[in-house]
């Protein structure tokens, strides 16, 4: 069975500092990995995905994520956080023949 873990319920970071939101996964087979962001009272927005190729993928709003097969991780990163990045972030995984499985979400607060 597929599963996704986001070990931190909440991440706090000062504006201008780098941020990391962690995600680990468990699948049988090759994973397709996704990050979504949810701003207050809005639906989820796609940020980036890893399908194959370069382990470092770049997405919207300056975010990037690194796929690490040996650690089964896909951590979301940004070099310099903005207050407007404050939101709920979801990691999701999918593999052949399976549906999307979402992690529980991590609330990011960027403090001015």
Partner 1 sequence: GAGVSQSPSNKVTEKGKDVELRCDPISGHTALYWYRQRLGQGLEFLIYFQGNSAPDKSGLPSDRFSAERTGESVSTLTIQRTQQEDSAVYLCASSFAGRNNEQFFGPGTRLTVL
Which structure tokens are listed for 85? 């990045």
43 forms part of the interface with partner 1 (CB under 8 A): yes
Q: State which of residues 8, 15, 20, 102 lies at the interface with partner 1 (CB under 8 A).
A: 102
42 forms part of the interface with partner 1 (CB under 8 A): yes
Q: State which of residues 28, 96, 109, 111 lies at the interface with partner 1 (CB under 8 A).
A: 96
103 forms part of the interface with partner 1 (CB under 8 A): yes
Strand, helix or coil at 36? Answer: strand
* Interatomic CA distance for residues 66 and 20, integer angstroms: 11
82 forms part of the interface with partner 1 (CB under 8 A): no
**Residues contacting partner 1: total by CB under 8 A:** 22
DSSP string of 45-85? EEEEEE-SS-SEEE-GGG-EEEEETTTTEEEEEESS--GGG
53 forms part of the interface with partner 1 (CB under 8 A): no
């Amino acid at each position: 069975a597929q599963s996704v873990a986001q070990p931190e319920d909440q991440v706090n970071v000062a504006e201008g500092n780098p941020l990391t939101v962690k995600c680990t996964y468990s699948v049988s087979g090759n994973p397709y990995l996704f990050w979504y962001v949810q701003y207050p009272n809005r639906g989820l927005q796609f940020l980036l995905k890893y399908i194959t190729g370069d382990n470092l993928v770049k997405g919207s709003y300056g975010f990037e994520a690194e796929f690490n097969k040996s650690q089964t991780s896909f951590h979301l990163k940004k070099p310099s956080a903005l207050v407007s990045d404050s939101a709920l972030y979801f990691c999701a995984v999918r593999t052949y023949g399976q549906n999307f499985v979402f992690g529980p979400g991590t609330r990011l607060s960027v403090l001015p």
